[in-house]
Amino acid sequence: MFGVWTSCISWIGLGFGCWSLRFLNSRGLLSIFAMENQMKTVRDAPDVLDVNSSGIVGGGGMGDTYCEDAASDNQPFTPWTRSVASGVDLLRDPRFNKGTAFTDKERESHYLRGLLPPVVVDQELQINRILENVRAYETDLEKYVEVMDLQERNERLFYKVLIDHVEELLPIVYTPTVGEACQKFGNIFRRPHGLYISLKDKGHVLDCLRNWPEPNVQVIVVTDGERILGLGDLGSQGMGIPIGKLALYVALGGIRPSATLPVTIDVGTNNQSLLDNPFYIGLRHKRATGEEYDDLLHEFMVACKQAYGEKVLVQFEDFANHNAFRLLAKYSTSHLVFNDDIQGTAAVALAGLLAALPITGGTLADHKLLFVGAGEAGTGIAELVAMEISRQGKISVEEARKKIFLVDSQGLVTKSRFDSLQPFKKPFALDIAPISKLASVIKELKPTVMIGTTGKGGQFTQEVLEEFSSYQDKPVVFALSNPTSQSECTAEEAFKHTKGKCIFASGSPFKPVTYEGKTYTIGQSNNAYIFPGMGLGTTISGAIRVHDDMFLAAAESLAKEIGEDHLAKRQLFPSFTEIRDISAHIGAAVAEKAYELGLATKLPKPKDLLGYAKSCMYSPVYRQFR
């Protein structure tokens, strides 16, 4: 195969000078441009040929591992230019476009003369221009549209600005603004991004995947839009979430952009206001359920492996409880899959709890934990905490669960409700009389940690917080629901109503709080700390399954990032400015666990996993085109 292509390329290269030829391969259209007797291929098909600047053909296949593949993306000057279009096509391709940063030489050699204003600027100046424009907008939604437009125009600039200004831009491309963007997705719709797979595609899901232009996908984030953050059913408009999460996989975890695929499965929506909205982008009927739903999901899961192989990571995101748990159980033994809202959120919250121990004193097993909200996040965290207590204390998980209490919309989860409880709540049912009011639950059980995962704003009222802090000095309060509007309380309320005693974290970002002259930095207990590193770890090790122990390893790795400086400000999570380094550590810890569990396929195991993880991470610095 390689030899045939080599001679084909040489022949065209010698014979044609400046030409564009198109070949149809089995995966779709592969364009080949011949320029000045050099060949440059467009689009990296799995059997792509790499051509270096001196016209020597090399490569001949994307590396089997993530790293070999990523390495060519990372070199600021690569002779192994794999994919270069020319002329106006180059400007219109966000993967290669550099706008006014194309040098005069590049403009000359790539048929850009006259297509750009004469000025040549560097990436730094472009970043300053973008930031100035973004900052000039009044609303966060306008900022979101501006920044996401950049992703469609100039991918490397988008990631460079996001990485270099992560604290400022994360709340724009991610929670809370992405929530509002999803609510108004039909109104702000410009260009499609990601794959929309709907009931209309039944029987043709593999065709949808084959239409996606990138053949070497390594991470898929998929939602069915039924429970977008704490905002409920947003149908097809939930697409903003997979897009945002994957932008973070790249910016925070160093996954290559071309290896990411956002997917929304549209089976309808039960959101009447969207069904009535003329600008709604999805199927205009109520949600399909039962066999119809399961069949489409199954077709998708099978197609993922067919299209991208055994090692493609599928992240389930923002599915409703009734599907989230069973889909995870159904596919976790056959696919490399995890649920971010159950397992990612669990790992990040566990990291926060471990980080808090030097302040509270004692071990995790010394705490009594109350979960307010007993859905994916609540029971996900509860289970992982129970596993950690069991591991640390050498007791059974059943015994460890006794330190955990759940409250759902009906009140305390007790044995008296056993028959009607959803299966994921049953292991935590208490053998005591039912209590419906939250403040009364707290009074009765006297928990030391209270974690909100209700998806409903304002649940931690003044009464609740006062009661919770009435019998202890260091009450731990996590208000994890997103976006900010759904947070169980604000950071300010937490400090005020606990009289400055609390150790607080939230799912969405809050500004620092000053209480009685002391300023506290608010750590964001958001799965964004975990999933990028998880993706890095599974790809560099070639893992074929995700195991709970990998999440424990990720949580422990994240908790280690918290030092005395952080604790002095009661900050349980590091700043996002350090996240790429943190993701590399998490990636190495996850990969290490994958090897230990026999789930890794990249052999031999790299000697220095951390160094290897770092070397694999995508860098958005512009490449030069010769």
Ligand X SMILES: O=C([O-])CC(=O)C(=O)O
User: Residues 245, 311, 425, 602: which is the catalytic one?
Assistant: 245
* Sequence ranges of the binding site: 227, 317-318, 341, 482, 526
String of contacts with Mg ion for each residue 295-334, x by CB under 5 A: -----------------------x----------------
Instruction: Between 341 and 467, name the residue whose CB sits nearer to Mg ion.
Output: 341
Which among ligand X, Mg ion, none contacts residue 482 (Cβ within 5 to 8 A by kind)?
Answer: ligand X
Q: Which helix (H) or strand (E) holds 178?
A: helix 177-183
CB of 271 to ligand X, least distance (A): 17
Q: Which helix (H) or strand (E) holds 536?
A: helix 531-541
When CB distances are held under 5 to 8 angstroms depending on the partner's kind, the choice from Mg ion, ligand X, none that residue 282 binds is none
CA 341 to CA 325: how far, in whole Å?
Answer: 10
148 or 599: CB nearest ligand X: 148
Q: Taking CB under 6 A as the criterion, which residues in 307-326 touch ligand X?
A: 318
- The length of the chain is 626
Q: Which is nearer to ligand X, 340 or 467 (CB)?
A: 340
**Binding site, annotated residues for (S)-malate:** 227, 482, 526
Q: Choose from ligand X, Mg ion, none: what does 321 bind? Cβ within 5-8 Å by kind.
A: none
Contacts of 347 (CB under 8 A, 6+ apart): 384, 527, 530, 534, 551, 552, 554, 555, 558
The C-alpha R_g of the chain, in whole angstroms, comes to 25
Strand partners, 197: 265
224 binds Mg ion (CB under 5 A): no
365 touches 389 (CB < 8 A):
yes
Considering beta carbons, is residue 341 or 493 the nearer one to Mg ion? Answer: 341
**CA 522 to CA 97: how far, in whole Å?**
38
Q: Is 527 in the site for ligand X (CB under 6 A)?
A: yes
Asked whether position 341 contacts ligand X by CB under 6 A, the answer is yes
- Beta bridge partner(s), residue 370: 405, 450
For Mg ion (CB under 5 A), the number of binding residues is 2
Q: Tokens at residue 524, please? A: 């964001």
Our answer to whether residue 245 is catalytic in this structure is yes
Q: Which residues contact 490 (CB under 8 A, 6 or more apart)?
A: 479, 510
Among 74, 78, 151, 175, indicate the residue that binds ligand X (CB under 6 A).
175
12 alpha-carbon distance from chain centroid: 42
**To the nearest 10°, the Cα dihedral for 84, 70, 340, 164?**
-80
Per CB under 5 A, the segment of 335-343, 496-504, 540-548, 591-599 that binds Mg ion is 335-343
CB of 174 to ligand X, least distance (A): 6
| Choice among 66, 159, 174, 529 that is catalytic | 174
466 close to 436: Cβ distance less than 8 angstroms: no
Q: Which residue among 323, 454, 482, 521 contacts ligand X (CB under 6 A)?
A: 482
Name residues whose C-beta falls within 8 Å of residue 447's C-beta, 6 or more positions apart in sequence: 367, 368, 369, 370, 405, 468
Which residues in 284-312 are b (16+ Cβ under 10 Å) and which e? eeebbeeeebeebbebbbebbeebbeebb
- Taking alpha carbons only, the member of 479, 426, 439 closest to residue 457 is 479
Contact flags string 199-238 toward ligand X, x per CB under 6 A: ------------------------------x---------
Which of 72, 339, 526, 539 is the binder for ligand X (CB under 6 A)? 526
453 binds, among ligand X, Mg ion, none (CB under 5 to 8 A by kind): none
Cβ-based nearer residue to Mg ion, 69 or 341: 341
**148 or 389, CB closer to ligand X?**
148
**Would you call 606 helix, strand, or coil by DSSP?**
coil
* Cβ-based neighbour number of residue 333 at 10 Å: 8
Encoded tokens for 528 = 């964004």
If contact means CB under 5 to 8 A according to the sort of partner, which of ligand X, Mg ion, none does residue 592 touch?
Answer: none
Catalytic-residue membership of 174: yes
Letters for 337-376 (x = contact with Mg ion by CB under 5 A, - = none) are: ----x-----------------------------------
Q: Least Å distance between CB 219 and Mg ion?
A: 15
Backbone φ and ψ of 175, nearest 5°? -65, 135
| Contacting residues toward Mg ion, per CB under 5 A | 318, 341
Task: State the catalytic residues.
Answer: 174, 245
Interacting residues with ligand X (CB under 6 A):
175, 229, 318, 340-341, 482, 507, 526-527
